[in-house]
């Protein structure tokens, strides 16, 4: 679509230059046709290259400036990173809600940025779930209660999981390129106005570029808005599915209507990012083709058909709004427990099928949320606090990687004494005791929970941390399946943040081209999810059937992480829409005996995370 | 024709300069954010110290001077922190905080030495808990200070490198950011440990 837009721009510019030459020629006494005929042929080529050059340079510049991913956008919008350990009650509640949603979706918990605006708005930005961040206005946490906040956060997660945030970032870069053509036109116009020779032609050229540039932007924004409006409806719908409570998002939208500042953003950068927000960020484009969001009342009616059209009257004083949420601690607990009970009643492990697993990729439901809440609630308080503190989070991860075998553990601990940061081993003593009691589902959740804290490390601290973690994993000269999963989740979550988002636009269209690797993966999975050879064979065949693989089962005696990584590296080259079929085959393999253990679930999560198909823990936890 | 080529080149140069500006801003934002992490830990530390002094008072009535010195140093450091947090880019404020922290460190060191003479105090459950928490906080301060200094170094290095150094002054990035070095950091590290070893 944008290729077409650029081609149109090039044609328009060429016509424009032709007209400019025509007028220039007329001033010299030639007729319009003669002067066009006199224009050298390679001029058109140059003009075409020029347009591509200018639009390309401008887009590239914008792209490079947001290359760091979500955090770059959040910082440009004036967001301040919320520290996990230093939050007032409202901020703490927000962080809890985000954490629950992330665990429920099976993605690393994203860092949360707070924007000092009194209006109700939020955004998600990032190229992938790994570098995604969530931005929330101060007004949002002041005016919304927990359920409404949940609706808003679920809406933003839907953008992240559906890949909308990725598209949005690209749109920003491309639109910037087109807009820049207009700015050049403005420059030419000014220069042309002052010069005598060819002044008329220059003015015409400048004016034309200006029209093309701003016209291009206008149409670009219209496209962007059309795309965005549709996605807003979808995200609202997903939020309802996620929270199974239409009122959560509807009430939040109504409060935007009831608040005098609504969802307006005052930051300058908000305009180019207007399509990323929860509510319309620009009040001046509130209606018509240019609006990035559907009208508020339409969005509300889409969720709540019987709505009477009345916006609530908000207590204008944020302090009053805050005091109505008094004692968030106890409310939190009560809420969590209520949800927890609900979860237990709803989750039925045996009924899981490959289809039901695949349905949950990128589409977490109320059940996933309930399971995530129970998982978080039942995690040891001290471990949770450690995961939220960037100092202790490292110790927590180190402690998780310690071996069960006491002799290896001694070796690992002495390694940490030498290599870990000062005092970290001392802090680990308490953590180790608690961790020995925790089960694997909790360990995986703790890894996701510690992501925001770990992302606060400086680059050199991160490098030391990741080296130490790798050292601990290989201390016993072998990598077992669970260690592999933990390592995958860590790498997957942190790499994008410290080394820049990974770009892997899969080009391979069909599984047939990577059949060997798919067979390798399923063989490994079958060998480690079933005990007897018959079971393994049946499991492999169940998976292979999903992918129409004709390659025989190759039993793996030991977990070979290098073989696993190599197979996955090739499978990552598949197109995004094909990847879920691999996850589905893996699910079929694991579920061949109609049972899914935590270890199998963990492997499944490690595989699906690597393939960028986040899987909620509700399938095994 | 030349006009267009010139325009493209000009555009590329303009973007290149703009990207230098953006990078400077981003790096500054990052170290300022890093400071807020230190702020959290230092505040925690400053909140703990009065509790510690309050507990100690009951046992060491004759050491009034030492205790007052600790409280004074703590208050000064607290003020220094507030000034520095308002503008972490202000080298003077950061230096002042470093100095105040150094004084607090030596005051705490003296207190620890004095406390050696009061075995009852050392055995006090409350005291043990406070010291333990103080130790943890010290470690966290040291850790977030390391992170902050890494970010400051990244900013300073970029600011001084060529070509950003040509534009940095023009963009208002006239000064290097100050590293947060605590004069007595060794002593601060050791101080809380001394008492119960």
Q: Which of A297-311, A348-362, A576-590, B93-107 has the lowest mean pLDDT?
A: A348-362
- Distance CA(B80)–CA(B87), nearest Å, equals 11
State how far Cα A386 lies from the chain centre: 25
Spatial CA neighbour of A189 closest among A172, A214, A216: A214
A80 contacts B33? CB cut-off 8 A: yes
Residue A389 DSSP SS3: coil
B1 contacts A390? CB cut-off 8 A: no
Contact criterion met (CB below 8 Å) for A106 and A614: yes
| Domain coordinates in residue numbering, chain B | 2-194
A354: pLDDT strictly greater than 80: no
Residue of chain B whose Cα is closest to the Cα of A84: B37
Cα→Cα distances A195→A189, A191, A192, A210, Å: 10, 6, 5, 18
B18 contacts A57? CB cut-off 8 A: no
Confidence at residue A28, expressed as pLDDT on a 0 to 100 scale: 61
Residue B114 DSSP SS3: helix
Reported confidence tier of residue A5, pLDDT bands at 50, 70, 90: low
- Distance CA(A8)–CA(A510), nearest Å, equals 34
A134 bridge partner residues: A112, A124
Which H or E run contains A134?
strand A133-137
Which of B 8-37 lie inside 8 A of A, CB atoms? Answer: 8, 11-12, 15, 18-19, 22, 26, 29-30, 33-34, 36-37
- Distance CA(A343)–CA(B65), nearest Å, equals 60
Tokens of A542: 């169940």
- Distance CA(B72)–CA(B50), nearest Å, equals 10
Residue of chain B whose Cα is closest to the Cα of A192: B3
Spatial CA neighbour of B138 closest among A388, A381, A426: A426
- Distance CA(A528)–CA(B38), nearest Å, equals 46
Minimum distance, in Å, between the CA of residue A282 and any CA atom of chain B: 24
State how far Cα B80 lies from the chain centre: 10
Reported confidence tier of residue A34, pLDDT bands at 50, 70, 90: low
A75 contacts B26? CB cut-off 8 A: yes
Q: Tell me the per-residue pLDDT of A376-428, one tens digit each, with 9 for 90 and over.
A: 888 888 888 888 888 888 889 999 888 888 888 888 888 888 887 777 777 78
Best to test chain A binding among B1, B46, B193 (most A CBs inside 10 Å): B1
B117 contact A CB<8A: no
Minimum distance, in Å, between the CA of residue A457 and any CA atom of chain B: 6
Tokens of A82: 């919320």
A352, HSE (Cβ side, Cα atoms, 13 Å):
29
A461 contacts B146? CB cut-off 8 A: yes
B72 contact A CB<8A: no
Which member of A100, A148, A156, A448 is catalytic?
A: A156
Spatial CA neighbour of A247 closest among A236, A257, A260, A258: A236
A218: pLDDT strictly greater than 60: yes
A57 contacts B11? CB cut-off 8 A: yes
Cβ-based interface (< 8 Å): residues of A facing B: 43, 46-47, 50, 53-54, 57-58, 60-61, 64-65, 68, 72, 75, 80-81, 83, 85-86, 180, 184, 187-188, 389-391, 421-423, 427, 456-461
Residue B143: list chain A partners with CB under 8 A. Answer: 390-391, 421, 461
Question: What domains, with CATH codes, occur in chain A?
Answer: 2-68+170-225 (no CATH), 70-162+231-323 (3.30.2010.10), 379-493 (no CATH), 511-619 (no CATH)
Mean pLDDT calculated for residue range A229-242? 81
Minimum distance, in Å, between the CA of residue B6 and any CA atom of chain A: 10
Tokens of A105: 């979706």
Residue of chain B whose Cα is closest to the Cα of A394: B143
Contact criterion met (CB below 8 Å) for A472 and A106: no
Q: Which residues of A330-357 are buried (b: 16+ CB within 10 A; e: fewer)?
A: eebeebbeebbebbeeebeeeebebeeb
- Distance CA(A591)–CA(A589), nearest Å, equals 5
A58 contacts B1? CB cut-off 8 A: no
Residue B158: list chain A partners with CB under 8 A. Answer: none
Confidence at residue A135, expressed as pLDDT on a 0 to 100 scale: 92
- Distance CA(B146)–CA(A171), nearest Å, equals 38
DSSP string, A202-229: HHHHHHHHHHHHHHHHHHHHHHHHHHHH
B5 contacts A50? CB cut-off 8 A: yes
Per the CATH hierarchy, to which homologous superfamily does domain B2-194 belong?
A: LemA-like domain (1.20.1440.20)
Spatial CA neighbour of A250 closest among A181, A192, A312, A157: A312
Q: Which of A49-63, A458-472, A509-523, A569-583 has the lowest mean pLDDT?
A: A49-63
Edge-to-edge, what's the strand order for the sheet holding A122-125?
A79-81, A112-115, A133-137, A122-125
B137 contact A CB<8A: no
A289: pLDDT strictly greater than 70: no
Residue A260: how many CB atoms within 10 A of its CB? 9
Residue A323 DSSP SS3: helix
B154 contact A CB<8A: yes
Residue A60: list chain B partners with CB under 8 A. Answer: 15
A65 contacts B22? CB cut-off 8 A: yes
Contact criterion met (CB below 8 Å) for A281 and A274: yes
Best to test chain B binding among A71, A114, A391 (most B CBs inside 10 Å): A391
Most confident of A17-21, A367-371, A474-478, B81-85: B81-85
A390 contacts B144? CB cut-off 8 A: yes
B142 contact A CB<8A: yes
| CA atoms A227, A229, A235, A241: torsion sign | negative
Contact criterion met (CB below 8 Å) for A593 and A530: yes
Residue A79 DSSP SS3: strand
Residues in chain B: 197
Tokens of B162: 């060529």
Mean pLDDT calculated for residue range A507-520? 87
Which residue of B37, B136, B154 is in closest CB contact with A456?
Answer: B37
Residue B135: list chain A partners with CB under 8 A. Answer: 423
Mean pLDDT calculated for residue range A553-577? 86
Residue B97 DSSP SS3: helix
Residue A577 DSSP SS3: coil
Residue B11: list chain A partners with CB under 8 A. Answer: 53-54, 57-58, 180, 184
Q: Measure CA of the first residue to CA of the last residue in chain A; give whole Å.
A: 43
What DSSP designation does A277 have? B
Mean pLDDT calculated for residue range A324-342? 36
Question: Which contacts (CB < 8 Å, 24+ apart) does range A213-219 have?
Answer: A213/A178, A213/A179, A213/A180, A213/A181, A213/A182, A213/A183, A213/A184, A213/A185, A214/A179, A214/A182, A216/A5, A216/A8, A216/A9, A216/A178, A216/A179, A216/A181, A216/A182, A217/A175, A217/A178, A217/A179, A217/A182, A218/A290, A219/A5
Peptide bond preceding A279: is omega within 30 degrees of 0, i.e. cis? no
Percent of the residues in chain A that have a pLDDT greater than 70, as a whole number: 81
Q: Which of A321-330, B86-95, B107-116 has the lowest mean pLDDT?
A: A321-330
Tokens of A229: 């409006």
Residue of chain B whose Cα is closest to the Cα of A393: B140
- Distance CA(A226)–CA(A54), nearest Å, equals 26
Residue B22: list chain A partners with CB under 8 A. Answer: 65
A134: pLDDT strictly greater than 90: yes
Count contacts between A and B (CB, < 8 Å).
81
Percent of the residues in chain A that have a pLDDT greater than 90, as a whole number: 5
A53 contacts B15? CB cut-off 8 A: no
Confidence at residue A231, expressed as pLDDT on a 0 to 100 scale: 83
| Better-predicted residue by pLDDT, A7 or A510 | A510
Reported confidence tier of residue A133, pLDDT bands at 50, 70, 90: very high
Mean pLDDT calculated for residue range A97-116? 89
Residue A458: list chain B partners with CB under 8 A. Answer: 34, 146-148, 150-151
3-state helix, strand, coil in chain B (%, to 5): 85, 0, 15
Which residue of B11, B37, B147 is in closest CB contact with A83?
Answer: B37
- Distance CA(A65)–CA(A80), nearest Å, equals 19
Confidence at residue A254, expressed as pLDDT on a 0 to 100 scale: 82
What DSSP designation does A574 have? B
| Better-predicted residue by pLDDT, A350 or B150 | B150
Contact criterion met (CB below 8 Å) for B44 and A90: no
Residue B144: list chain A partners with CB under 8 A. Answer: 390-391
| Better-predicted residue by pLDDT, A327 or A425 | A425
A112: pLDDT strictly greater than 90: yes
Which residue of A46, A61, A421 is in closest CB contact with B4?
Answer: A46
A460 contacts B150? CB cut-off 8 A: yes
Cα dihedral B127/B128/B133/B137 (nearest 10): 90
**Which residue shows structure tokens 């079971």?**
A535
Residue A437: how many CB atoms within 10 A of its CB? 9
- Distance CA(B189)–CA(B197), nearest Å, equals 14
- Distance CA(A458)–CA(A465), nearest Å, equals 10
A156 carries an active-site annotation: yes
Residue A422: list chain B partners with CB under 8 A. Answer: 139, 142, 189
State how far Cα B180 lies from the chain centre: 5
Mean pLDDT calculated for residue range A177-190? 73
φ, ψ (nearest 5 deg) of residue A574: -70, 155
**Which residue shows structure tokens 């034309």?**
A208
B133 contact A CB<8A: no
Contact criterion met (CB below 8 Å) for A110 and A126: yes
A111: pLDDT strictly greater than 70: yes
Average pLDDT, chain B: 82
Contact criterion met (CB below 8 Å) for A434 and A382: yes
């Amino acid at each position: 679509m944008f290729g077409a837009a650029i081609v149109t721009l090039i044609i328009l510019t060429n016509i424009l230059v032709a007209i400019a030459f025509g007028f220039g020629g007329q001033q010299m006494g030639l007729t319009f046709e003669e002067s066009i005929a006199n224009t050298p042929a390679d001029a058109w080529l140059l003009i075409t290259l020029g347009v591509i050059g200018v639009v390309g340079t401008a887009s590239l510049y914008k792209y490079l400036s947001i290359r760091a991913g979500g955090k770059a956008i959040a910082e440009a919008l004036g967001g301040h990173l919320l520290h996990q350990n230093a939050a007032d009650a409202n901020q703490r509640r927000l962080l809890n809600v985000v954490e629950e949603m992330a665990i429920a979706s099976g993605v690393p918990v994203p860092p949360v940025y707070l924007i000092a605006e009194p209006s109700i708005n939020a955004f998600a930005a990032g190229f992938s779930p790994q570098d995604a961040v969530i931005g929330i206005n101060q007004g949002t946490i002041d005016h919304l209660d927990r359920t409404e906040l949940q609706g808003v956060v679920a809406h933003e997660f839907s953008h992240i999981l559906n890949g909308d945030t990725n598209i949005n970032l690209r749109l920003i870069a491309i639109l910037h390129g087109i807009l820049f053509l207009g700015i050049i036109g403005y420059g030419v116009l000014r220069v042309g106005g002052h010069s005598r020779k060819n002044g008329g032609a220059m003015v015409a050229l400048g004016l034309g570029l200006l029209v093309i540039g701003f016209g291009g932007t206008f149409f670009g924004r219209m496209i962007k808005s059309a795309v965005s409006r549709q996605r807003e409806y979808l995200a609202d719908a997903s939020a309802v599915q996620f929270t199974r409570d239409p009122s959560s998002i509807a009430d939040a939208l109504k409060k935007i209507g009831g608040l005098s500042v609504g969802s307006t953003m005052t930051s300058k950068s908000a305009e180019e990012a207007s399509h990323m927000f929860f509510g319309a960020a620009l009040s001046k484009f509130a209606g018509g083709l240019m609006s990035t969001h559907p009208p508020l009342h339409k969005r509300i009616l889409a969720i709540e058909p019987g709505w009477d059209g009345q916006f609530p009257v908000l207590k204008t004083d944020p302090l009053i709004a805050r005091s109505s949420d008094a004692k968030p601690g106890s409310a939190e607990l009560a809420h969590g427990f209520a949800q927890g009970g609900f979860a237990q009643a709803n989750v039925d492990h045996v009924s899981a099928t490959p289809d039901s697993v695949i349905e949950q990729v990128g589409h977490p439901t109320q059940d996933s949320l309930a399971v995530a809440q129970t998982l978080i609630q039942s995690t040891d308080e001290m471990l949770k606090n450690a995961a939220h503190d960037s100092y202790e989070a490292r110790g927590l991860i180190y402690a998780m990687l310690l071996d069960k075998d006491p002799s290896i553990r001694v070796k690992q601990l002495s390694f940490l004494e030498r290599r870990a940061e000062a005092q970290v081993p001392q802090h680990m003593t308490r953590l180790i005791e608690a961790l020995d009691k925790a089960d694997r589902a909790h360990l995986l959740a703790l890894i996701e929970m510690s992501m925001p804290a770990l992302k606060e490390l400086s680059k050199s601290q991160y490098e030391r941390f990741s080296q130490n973690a790798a050292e601990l994993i290989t201390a016993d000269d072998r990598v077992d399946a669970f260690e592999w999963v933990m390592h995958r989740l860590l790498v997957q979550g942190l790499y994008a943040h410290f080394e820049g988002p990974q770009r892997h636009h899969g080009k391979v269209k069909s599984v047939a081209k990577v059949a060997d690797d798919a067979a390798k993966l399923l063989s490994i999975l079958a060998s480690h999810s079933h005990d007897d050879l018959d079971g393994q064979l049946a499991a492999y065949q169940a998976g292979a059937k999903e992918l129409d693989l004709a390659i025989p089962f190759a039993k793996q005696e030991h977990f070979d992480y290098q073989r696993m990584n190599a197979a996955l590296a090739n499978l990552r080259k598949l197109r995004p829409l094909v990847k879920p079929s691999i996850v589905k085959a893996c699910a079929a393999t694991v579920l061949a005996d109609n049972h899914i253990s935590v270890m199998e679930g963990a492997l499944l999560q490690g595989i699906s995370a690597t393939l960028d198909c986040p899987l909620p823990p509700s399938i095994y936890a | 024709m030349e006009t267009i080529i010139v325009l493209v080149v000009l555009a590329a140069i303009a973007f290149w300069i703009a990207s230098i500006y953006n990078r400077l801003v981003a790096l500054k934002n990052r170290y300022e954010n890093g400071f807020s992490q230190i702020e959290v830990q230092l505040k925690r530390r400053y909140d703990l110290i009065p509790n510690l002094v309050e507990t100690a008072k009951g046992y060491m009535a004759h050491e009034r001077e030492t205790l007052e010195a600790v409280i004074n140093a703590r208050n000064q450091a607290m003020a220094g922190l507030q000034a520095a947090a308002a503008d972490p880019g202000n080298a003077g404020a950061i230096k002042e905080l470093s100095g105040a922290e150094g004084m607090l460190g030596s005051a705490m060191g003296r207190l620890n030495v004095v406390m050696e003479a009061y075995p009852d105090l050392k055995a006090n459950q409350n005291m043990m808990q406070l010291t333990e928490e103080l130790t943890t906080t010290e470690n966290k301060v040291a850790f977030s200070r390391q992170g902050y200094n890494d970010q400051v170094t990244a900013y300073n290095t970029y600011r001084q490198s060529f070509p950003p150094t040509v534009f940095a002054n023009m963009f208002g990035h006239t000064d290097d950011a100050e590293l947060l070095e605590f004069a007595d950091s060794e002593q601060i590290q050791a101080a809380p440990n001394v008492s119960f070893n």
